[in-house]
Amino acid sequence: MGVNCHRTFRSRANDNAMLPDNEIRFDASGQAWLDQLVQRHQNRASQLLQMLREIQEHYGHIPHQIVTELAQRLCIPRARIESVASFYSFLHLKPHGEYRILFSDNITDRMLGSQPLMELMCQQLWLQPGKVSEDSLVSIGTTSCTGMCDQGPALLVNELAITNLNHQRVQEIVHLIRNRTPLGDWPADFFRVEDNIRRSGLLLGNALAPGELLRNALSLGGTNIVESIKASGLRGRGGAGFSTGLKWEACRNAQGSEHYVVCNADEGEPGTFKDRVLLNQQADLVFEGMTLCALAVGARKGFLYLRGEYRYLLEPLQAVLQRRRANKLLGTSILAQAGFDFDIEIHLGAGAYICGEESALIESLEGKRGVPRNRPPFPVTHGYLQQPTAVDNVETFCQAVLALHMGAEQYRTIGTAKSAGSKLVSVSGDCQRPGIYEYPFGVSVREILQDCGAVNTLAVQVSGPSGICVAESEFDRRLGFEDLPTAGAFMIFDDSRDLFEVARNFVHFFAHESCGFCTPCRVGTSILKQTMDKIAAGHGTRYDLSEIENLDRVLQTTSHCGLGRTACNPVLHTLKHFRPSYENKLKSLMFSPAFDLDGSLARARQMTGRDDAGAHLREIE
Amino acid sequence: MNETFQLDGSAVPFEPGQTVMQAALAAGRYIPHLCYHPEFKPHGSCKLCTVKVNGRTVASCTMPAEGGLDVESEIEELNALRRSLVQMLFAEGNHFCPSCEKSGNCVLQALGYDLEVHATGFRHLYPDRPLDASHPDILLDFNRCILCELCVRASSEVDGKNVFALSGRGITKHLIVNAESGKLSDTNIALTDKAMQVCPVGVILPKRVGFSVSIGERRYDQRPISAQALDDAPRQTDASGNCAACEGTP
Amino acid sequence: MSKKLRVATTSLAGCFGCHMSILDIDERLFPLFDLIEFDRSPLTDIKHCGPCDIGLVEGGVCNAENVHVLHEFRKNCKILIAIGACAINGGLPAQRNHLDLGSCLTEVYLTEPGLLHGHIPNDPELPLPLDKVHPLHEVVKIDYFIPGCPPSADAIWKFLTDLIAGKTPELGHGLIKYD
């Protein structure tokens, strides 16, 4: 940028009077630690998010003074650091407790009883949700789906996942926190994450050895790999279903000083957890796919962007990478092929669903706020650092290896005409056997429901909140790009559930995750949330339903990215199929205020000590 | 010979690299806009400039012009969307025009006038956004911020200072300044900065000069924004870096 | 000549500036009076609203009495119009909305320097303030809005004559103003 950082930023680092309460004293050892951190990240501002994550892991938050020091070292404005840190919900610029508890707030967690458990924990720790305890020991809040829907309710403590919460487990956690037990000494059982694989197919049942496919692919060369992948009909498994071969071809053909491969492991769509299982079970296959892609597009560097919620997978994944380097499957001259150099770096997210959008993910990789870019240009030509970049989903990389291994013709025999291969489905909600099910594309909703032991099913939310709500009359619809495209979420609701509450949970999710870049999504999702809350509180009218229709029009047509464009879907779909669950909450009136009129006099009554008839308002006159 | 695209049924020529918005304004055709400013790289966040291109809605400020595109802009369907967007911005902040010294020179307000926005329609969010009056010569009234990032862009790209940045996300997104104290007085902003001129609403204000132009003589009292915007396009800075059309310049 | 339209007007948390603008319609009031007659209004001193065709309400809703009056207007007026900045977005009174009502009352009646034996008024005759000041459309359904602080006489004239003529009221450049 050519800006003199000492001029642009007036340091007041020595002015300790400026520091808020609880700020750390930044002594020589702190300086040394920070120097080391910055050096390890080669002084690159593009590593900012990764540095901030490490700072938070070290201090529990990102201290004011460290922001100043880091800005000086990286020669960037301190406001930029605040700007980035404040974008990610797991990062805190203020002390947020030694133990930071976040309950996963997906509808499936709620159905498994997360809310009373959170109330219990708050009660026992004398704490209000969203607040930090007075002794700075603990904070309790909620976060978007943590991807443990098959073993919920779940929470994160300092970003480590705890599953299968129940009354007893919550009380044990309270006890551990009160005793200030270090996380390392908590029972390992708490942190156990099961794969729950219920049905395997060509992917989960594969018997490929690490490097096996790569060895065969070397002789093919980039162009032939691209042609084979194109011929296999492989489409992206992240939900949008773009042809993987065409993407790789466009990236390969794009001009650039470097090409990059990015694996999107920011599995944030509520109800989806298949990438978590793949990264645990099939890490070699994922990395093999990325390396294959590198060979195809001519990349020397790859990133795996791992959502912060899967922080616990970092070390195991690093170990797999290390083993692959040792086995010459990564690094320079892979498999002794001169000139085939490729390595993979893992970047962690920090609580931002929007980073699952590929251009926002790239921004985040560059150490910025995860705001989706204006497109065109697309990442295949202008991606990471404006260079050609192939971004694919975890499952897509696995499928690419299998497609090449089986051969295009064979691969195409699996699935349907326009959806080749198999699909991992993350089944959760009201059924006996939640978990991961692999099916060839074309499987019907009804078949999955039978396999997982779902009874009295009212509806299935396919592909998460931004997907489609399928009612019983449509259970013969089939998964696949021809009919029901899906990233893999399959949340089941039986006839004891109120679909309005499901939609309201999803609407809250979108409002919480809106990046705030564009007007319609930033403001519209908040207004939509208010309207749904108004209906839930018994103040809704038909007027509010027409408001929702108007909001949908604005959000769908003017939003910057898919988040805003689909934010009204859960409401529209449930309105279509389950209108009574809205209507029985509505007043018969044309209009009703969003707030309780009498309640809004409460403060004045309290201040004046009045309670006469005139000090009250009947709602309708 | 330049290529052309169709805008509301008549041809607009364009140069390679121009967006639909840039080509339209250069050809004397107005498309409503708010975060777009001719001197800066298109941002695409306010979405006021949404048009239909071959039936698909896109922001015209970031949409590359291409030969043969069929662009619709002046249609009720789009103006209804724009109206809602203006209403959302009014609902989001605390916009009390009668007490704002930017009134009459405010782009958001002028767009509301042009689109016949009579009321906010939505429920007001009434956020709590404290002022920053720490600087001796400059007042920041965050109540009116619409998050267009023009000041962020101007301070970084033109002034080379990075005085402003955005913090938070979603509905909590807000403008911050680059100082450890968080106060404008501890930044190196100057009255002569480009960032002082570009705020389309009344956030960044020089002190002691408010309300100097009488009602009736202010920028958008005289002519609607649709006419003013065309006069300004393409806006050119003079030798001293000032742009005559920037609304911040009284 | 058909029956005259009955019009009611009132000011809630407003300054009567909008009513002054209605009077500013001036000599055009006479042809207007051929078309309308006033029900409850500061101009007639009628205390309660009967069935009306049009209700014009100035000011936002800041206390319990405002709520009662607004409900009376909504119940009796076929078309309800919010007139002026305060009715539309709360205006000046709404600038207390980010403050806690309790601390407002405390500061004004208890801790303000110079107060002797201050107490927060609690006479049952007084309407209690709401914790927030609301624009009219947050409390009842509003059909039309005439913006301005106040809207000019020309704007009100244009709006009403459009409406009476059965057209969708449009103000256009110069008449539409938020200040």
Assign 3-state DSSP to chain A and report helix, strand, coil percentages, each to 5. 45, 15, 40
Instruction: Spell out the domain ranges in chain A.
Output: 5-85, 99-194, 199-412, 422-496, 500-583
Give the whole-angstrom CA distance, residue B118 versus residue C133.
19
Task: Answer whether A608 sits within 8 Å of C122, measured CB to CB.
Answer: yes
Task: Give the count of beta carbons closer than 10 Å to the beta carbon of residue A517.
Answer: 31
Q: Which residue of chain B has the CA closest to A511?
A: B170
3-state helix/strand/coil string of B87-146: HHHHHHCCCCHHHCCCCCCCHHHHHHHHCCCCCCCCCCCCCCCCCECCCCCEEECHHHCC
Pick from A82, A518, A594: which is nearest to B123 by CB?
A594
Pick from A605, A620, A621: which is nearest to C128 by CB?
A605
Mean pLDDT of the A73-77 span: 96
SS3 assignment, position A304: strand
Within-domain flag for C171: no
Mean pLDDT of the B57-78 span: 96
Question: DSSP states of A230-245 as a string?
Answer: HHHT-B-TTSS--BHH
Average pLDDT of chain A is 93
Within-domain flag for C73: yes
Closest-CA distance, B63 to chain C, in angstroms, reads 30
pLDDT at A172 over 80: yes
Pick from A595, A601, A607: which is nearest to C64 by CB?
A601
SS3 assignment, position B188: coil
Pairing, β B204-206 against β B138-140: antiparallel
Residues of chain A in contact with residue C67, where contact means CB-CB under 8 angstroms, are: 597, 617
Give the whole-angstrom CA distance, residue A513 versus residue A309.
15
Model-level pTM?
A: 0.93
Nearest to C135 by CA among B163, A95, B96, B152: B96
Where residue C139 sits, what CATH number does that domain have?
A: 3.40.50.700
Within-domain flag for B225: yes
For A314-332, the pLDDT digits (tens) are 999 999 999 999 999 999 9
Same domain, B112 and B220: yes
Supply the DSSP symbol for A46: G
pLDDT at B245 over 60: no
For A44-66, the pLDDT digits (tens) are 999 999 999 999 999 999 999 99
pLDDT at A16 over 50: no
pLDDT at A12 over 60: no
For A251-288, the pLDDT digits (tens) are 999 999 999 999 999 999 999 999 999 999 999 999 99
Same domain, B157 and B196: yes
Task: Answer whether A621 sits within 8 Å of C128, measured CB to CB.
Answer: no
Residues of chain A in contact with residue B173, where contact means CB-CB under 8 angstroms, are: 516, 522
Task: Answer whether C94 sits within 8 Å of B99, measured CB to CB.
Answer: no
Same domain, B161 and B55: no
The residues, any chain, with a CB within 8 Å of residue A174's CB and separated by 6 or more, are A121, A124, A125
Q: How many domains is chain C built from?
A: 1
Residues of chain C in contact with residue B114, where contact means CB-CB under 8 angstroms, are: 173
Closest-CA distance, B88 to chain C, in angstroms, reads 13
Q: Which two structure tokens, joined as six digits, stand for A468?
A: 């489609």
Where residue B34 sits, what CATH number does that domain have?
A: 3.10.20.740
Q: Is B80 at the interface with chain C, CB within 8 A?
A: no
CATH of domain A422-496: 3.10.20.600
Closest-CA distance, B123 to chain A, in angstroms, reads 8
For chain C, which chains pass the contact test of at least 3 CB pairs under 8 Å? A, B
Q: Which two structure tokens, joined as six digits, stand for A35?
A: 């120097």
Domain limits for position C35? 5-93+130-164
Closest-CA distance, B181 to chain A, in angstroms, reads 7
Give the whole-angstrom CA distance, residue C145 versus residue C143.
7
CA geometry: angle B128, B134, B138, nearest 5 deg: 95
Task: Answer whether A68 sits within 8 Å of B180, measured CB to CB.
Answer: yes
Residues of chain B in contact with residue A592, where contact means CB-CB under 8 angstroms, are: none
pLDDT value, residue A230: 97
Residues of chain C in contact with residue B103, where contact means CB-CB under 8 angstroms, are: 178-179
Nearest to A373 by CA among C89, A385, A131, A350: A385
Where residue B209 sits, what CATH number does that domain have?
A: 3.30.70.20
Beta-bridge mates of residue B132 = B140
For C111-137, the pLDDT digits (tens) are 888 888 889 999 999 999 999 999 999
Q: Is B109 at the interface with chain C, CB within 8 A?
A: yes
Task: Answer whether B161 sits within 8 Å of A8, measured CB to CB.
Answer: yes
**Residue C143 · residue C14 · CB < 8 Å:** no
% of chain A surpassing 70 pLDDT: 96
Within-domain flag for B61: yes
pLDDT at A20 over 60: no
Pick from B112, B123, B129: which is nearest to C178 by CB?
B112
Terminal Cα-to-Cα distance of chain A (whole angstroms): 64
Work out the pLDDT band at C178, boundaries 50, 70, 90.
Answer: very high
Same domain, B111 and B203: yes
Q: Which of B83, B178, B201 should be substituted to probe chain A, the one whose Cβ sees the most A Cβ atoms within 10 Å?
A: B178
B121: amino acid identity, one letter? G
- CATH homologous superfamily of A199-412 equals NADH-ubiquinone oxidoreductase 51kDa subunit (3.40.50.11540)
Q: Is A554 at the interface with chain B, CB within 8 A?
A: yes
Within-domain flag for B119: yes
Inter-chain Cβ pairs, chain A and chain B, closer than 8 A: 146
Task: Answer whether A601 sits within 8 Å of C128, measured CB to CB.
Answer: yes
Q: Of the ranges A78-87, A205-214, B23-32, C113-122, which one carries the lowest mean pLDDT score?
A: C113-122
Beta-bridge mates of residue A263 = A304, A392
Closest-CA distance, A248 to chain B, in angstroms, reads 24
For A361-404, the pLDDT digits (tens) are 999 999 999 999 998 899 999 999 999 999 999 999 999 999 99
% of chain B surpassing 90 pLDDT: 85
Inter-chain Cβ pairs, chain B and chain C, closer than 8 A: 80
pLDDT value, residue B52: 98
Same domain, B67 and B117: no
Within-domain flag for C48: yes
Class of domain A500-583: mainly alpha
Chain B residues 210-249 with CB within 8 Å of chain C: 215, 221, 223-224
Pick from A78, A80, A519: which is nearest to B89 by CB?
A519
Closest-CA distance, A385 to chain B, in angstroms, reads 18
Nearest to C94 by CA among C50, C56, C138, C124: C138
Q: What is the ipTM of this complex?
A: 0.93
Residues of chain B in contact with residue A512, where contact means CB-CB under 8 angstroms, are: 170
Residues of chain C in contact with residue A621, where contact means CB-CB under 8 angstroms, are: 68, 71-72, 75
Q: Annotate A450-464 with b (16+ C-beta within 10 A) or e (fewer).
A: ebbebeebbbbbbbb
For A490-543, the pLDDT digits (tens) are 999 999 999 999 999 999 999 999 999 999 999 999 999 999 999 999 999 988
Supply the DSSP symbol for B46: S
Q: Is C81 at the interface with chain B, CB within 8 A?
A: no
pLDDT value, residue A2: 37
Same domain, B200 and B100: yes
Q: How many domains is chain B built from?
A: 2
Task: Answer whether A621 sits within 8 Å of C106, measured CB to CB.
Answer: no
Task: Answer whether C170 sits within 8 Å of B100, measured CB to CB.
Answer: no
For A216-240, the pLDDT digits (tens) are 999 999 999 999 999 999 999 988 8
B173: amino acid identity, one letter? K
Work out the pLDDT band at B233, boundaries 50, 70, 90.
Answer: low
Question: DSSP states of A466-508 as a string?
Answer: TSEEEEGGGTT-BBSTTSB--SSEEEEEETTS-HHHHHHHHHH
Within-domain flag for B23: yes
For A87-118, the pLDDT digits (tens) are 999 999 999 999 999 999 999 999 999 999 99
Work out the pLDDT band at A23, boundaries 50, 70, 90.
Answer: low
State the Rg of chain A over Cα. 25
Same domain, B13 and B118: no
State CA A461 to chain mean position distance: 17
Within-domain flag for C125: no
Terminal Cα-to-Cα distance of chain B (whole angstroms): 40
Same domain, B178 and B211: yes
Pick from B100, B123, B126: which is nearest to C97 by CB?
B126
Domain limits for position B184? 96-232
For A430-487, the pLDDT digits (tens) are 999 999 999 999 999 999 999 999 999 999 999 999 999 999 999 999 999 999 999 9
Q: Do domains A199-412 and A422-496 have the same CATH topology?
A: no
Pick from B57, B88, B166: which is nearest to A523 by CB?
B88
Mean pLDDT of the B137-166 span: 97
Task: Answer whether B44 sits within 8 Å of A82, measured CB to CB.
Answer: no
CATH of domain A99-194: 3.40.30.10
Work out the pLDDT band at C2, boundaries 50, 70, 90.
Answer: low
State CA B179 to chain mean position distance: 25
Mean pLDDT of the B42-48 span: 95
Nearest to A48 by CA among A363, A352, A260: A363
Task: Answer whether A8 sits within 8 Å of B162, measured CB to CB.
Answer: yes
Q: Which residue of chain A has the CA closest to B186?
A: A10
Same domain, B125 and B57: no
Task: Answer whether B171 sits within 8 Å of A514, measured CB to CB.
Answer: yes
Closest-CA distance, B179 to chain A, in angstroms, reads 7
Task: Answer whether B168 sits within 8 Å of A86, measured CB to CB.
Answer: yes
